[in-house]
């Protein structure tokens, strides 16, 4: 039996960090996250500030969860080439459908 952690570490080292990105429907809040980790980047537009502190916090948390799920799904897709998909699912990385299409490009 191979060491799944070692295989995953080597693959991620070659492919680079795996992140997920999600935005609110109006684009006011965008979050970049890693699988199972905290947000790596949060972008908030001036329009988002009109939500008030509680509303903005709730929106950031909602979008951060979508970004985390997106990252987990991308990790699963990437690693299923080198690790049995059942092992990935057992580790908590589900392959799911993203709530929105993958965005390309850089945040501005």
Whether residue 103 is predicted with pLDDT greater than 60 in this model: the reply is: no
In CATH, the number for domain 19-90 is: 3.30.1310
Confidence band for 2, pLDDT divided at 50, 70 and 90: low
Q: Any idea where the domains of the chain sit in the sequence?
A: 19-90
> What are 6-13's contacts with CB under 8 Å, separation 24+?
7/82, 7/83, 8/79, 8/82, 8/83, 11/78, 11/79, 11/81, 11/82, 11/83
Beta bridge partners of 32: 21, 41
Question: Residue 100 has what pLDDT?
Answer: 46
Whether residue 79 is predicted with pLDDT greater than 90 in this model: the reply is: no
Higher-pLDDT residue of 34, 101: 34
Question: Residue 99 has what pLDDT?
Answer: 45
pLDDT in tens, 62-71: 999 999 999 9
Q: What is the pTM of this model?
A: 0.72
């Amino acid at each position: 039996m191979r060491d799944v952690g070692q295989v995953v570490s080597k693959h991620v080292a070659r492919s680079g960090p795996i992140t997920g990105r999600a935005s609110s429907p109006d684009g006011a809040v965008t979050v970049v996250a890693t699988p199972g980790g905290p947000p790596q980047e949060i972008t908030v537009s001036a329009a988002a500030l009109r939500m008030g502190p509680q509303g903005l916090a709730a929106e950031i948390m909602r979008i951060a969860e979508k970004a985390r799920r997106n990252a987990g799904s991308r990790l699963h897709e990437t690693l299923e080439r080198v690790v049995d998909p059942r092992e990935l699912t057992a580790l908590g990385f589900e392959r799911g459908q993203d709530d929105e299409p993958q965005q390309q490009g850089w945040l501005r």
